C-alpha cells in the first residue's frame, strides 16, 4: 500500500528543487523565441498580403490542433529521423535535449502569443499613431515611445498566463528524458522502484503550487502597478476616505 512518508517527501524536494534552474531555462528561452515567432505571425496576420495572412492562420490552426506532447515527439524524434542521412540530422543528434524542448514550446506558444500581440496592438488606437506622426516623430519613434509601452501593458496578464503554462506544461519534457524538476523526481523515484511514488507527487505539488501562485500574484501586481494614473490623485482619494472615516 502506498502512503505519504514525510522524510521521502523532503528527500524528493531536496533532490528536484535544484533542477528548477532547468525548468526556468526552458520557460525563459521558449518565451523569448515564442515572442519572436509570435511577432512575426502577428505581423503576417495583420498584413494586407493574402498569402502572409493565409500562412499565419494556417500556422495558428495547425499548432492549436496539436497536443503539445505530439509536437514534442515530432520535434525530438520526427525531425532527426527525417534528416537522418544528412549532416544536419547528425548534428541534431548531438544537441542537448533541452534544445528540442525549447524549440517545441517556442513553436507552440508562438501561436498563442501572436494572438496576444494582435489583441494588444488593437488596444492602442490608430489615432495615437497618427498623433505621434503629427508631432513630427517618425514611425519607429512613435512605435517605441507610444505604441509599444501600451501594448506591453495590455499583454502583461496574458504573458503571465503563458509563463505559468510553460512552467507547468513544460514538465512533459520528462517524456524525452529531460531532467527538469519533474524529470529529476521521476528519475529518483525510478531508482527506488517507485515505492515512494506518492511521496514524490506530494513533493512535486509542494514545488509547483507555491511557484505558480507566486507567479500569478506577481503578474497581477505588475499590471496593477502599470495603470496610468496621476499618483497624487490616488493619495488624495485615500486621504479623502480617511477623512470621511474619521
Partner 1 sequence: MLKVENVHKSFGKNQVLKGVSFDVEKGDVVAILGSSGSGKTTLLRCLEFFEKADDGRIELGELKTDLKGAHKSVANQFRQHTGFVFQNYNLFNNKTALDNVKLGLIKGHGVDKKKADELARKALDKVGLSDRLDYYPSELSGGQQQRIGIARAVAFEPDVIFMDEPTSALDPELVGEVLETIKKLAENGITMVIVTHEISFARDVATKVIYMDEGVIVEQGTSLEIFSRPKQERTRQFLSRFLADYDYVI
Q: Determine if 131 is a binding residue for partner 1 (CB under 8 A).
A: yes
Residue identified by cell 505530439 is 70
Q: What is the dihedral of CA 53, 163, 169, 29, to 10 degrees?
A: 80
Q: Give the C-alpha distances (Å, rounded to integers) separating 202 from 190, 221, 245.
A: 16, 29, 47
Nearer to partner 1, 96 or 127 (CB): 127
Nearer to partner 1, 107 or 124 (CB): 124
Question: Taking contact as CB under 8 A, which single stretch among the options 54-62, 82-90, 135-143, 216-224 is the one that binds partner 1?
Answer: 135-143
- Smallest distance, partner 1 to C-beta of residue 135, A: 3
Question: Taking contact as CB under 8 A, which single stretch among the options 42-50, 52-60, 94-102, 129-137 is the one that binds partner 1?
Answer: 129-137
What is the rounded distance in angstroms from the CA atom of residue 76 to the CA atom of residue 73? 5
Nearer to partner 1, 70 or 236 (CB): 236
Q: Using alpha carbons only, what angle is made at residue 27 by residues 97 and 59, rounded to the nearest 5 degrees?
A: 85
Measured over the CA atoms of residue 48, residue 51, residue 55 and residue 61, the dihedral's sign is: positive
Among 96, 230, 245, 246, which residue sits at the site for partner 1 (rule: CB under 8 A)? Answer: 230
Question: Taking contact as CB under 8 A, which single stretch among the options 34-42, 98-106, 139-147, 174-182 is the one that binds partner 1?
Answer: 139-147
Amino acid at each position: 500500500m502506498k502512503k505519504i512518508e514525510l522524510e521521502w517527501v523532503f528527500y524528493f524536494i531536496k533532490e528536484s528543487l535544484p533542477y528548477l534552474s532547468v525548468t526556468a531555462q526552458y520557460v525563459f528561452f521558449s518565451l523569448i523565441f515564442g515572442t519572436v515567432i509570435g511577432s512575426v505571425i502577428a505581423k503576417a496576420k495583420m498584413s494586407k498580403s493574402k498569402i502572409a495572412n493565409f500562412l499565419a492562420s494556417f500556422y495558428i490552426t495547425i499548432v492549436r490542433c496539436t497536443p503539445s506532447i505530439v509536437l514534442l515527439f515530432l520535434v525530438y524524434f520526427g525531425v532527426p529521423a527525417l534528416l537522418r542521412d544528412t549532416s544536419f540530422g547528425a548534428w541534431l543528434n548531438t544537441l542537448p535535449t533541452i534544445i528540442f524542448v525549447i524549440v517545441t514550446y517556442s513553436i507552440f506558444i508562438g501561436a498563442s502569443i501572436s494572438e496576444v500581440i494582435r489583441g494588444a496592438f488593437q488596444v492602442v488606437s490608430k489615432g495615437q499613431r497618427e498623433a505621434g506622426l503629427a508631432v513630427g516623430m517618425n514611425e519607429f519613434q512613435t512605435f517605441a515611445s507610444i505604441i509599444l509601452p501600451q501594448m506591453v501593458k495590455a499583454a502583461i496578464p496574458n504573458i503571465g498566463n503563458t509563463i505559468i503554462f510553460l512552467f507547468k506544461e513544460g514538465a512533459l519534457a520528462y517524456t524525452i528524458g529531460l531532467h527538469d524538476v519533474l524529470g529529476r523526481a521521476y528519475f529518483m523515484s525510478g531508482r527506488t522502484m517507485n515505492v515512494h511514488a506518492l511521496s514524490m507527487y506530494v513533493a512535486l505539488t509542494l514545488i509547483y503550487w507555491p511557484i505558480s501562485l507566486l507567479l500569478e500574484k506577481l503578474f497581477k501586481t505588475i499590471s496593477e502597478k502599470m495603470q496610468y494614473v496621476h499618483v497624487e490623485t490616488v493619495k488624495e482619494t485615500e486621504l479623502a476616505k480617511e477623512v470621511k472615516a474619521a
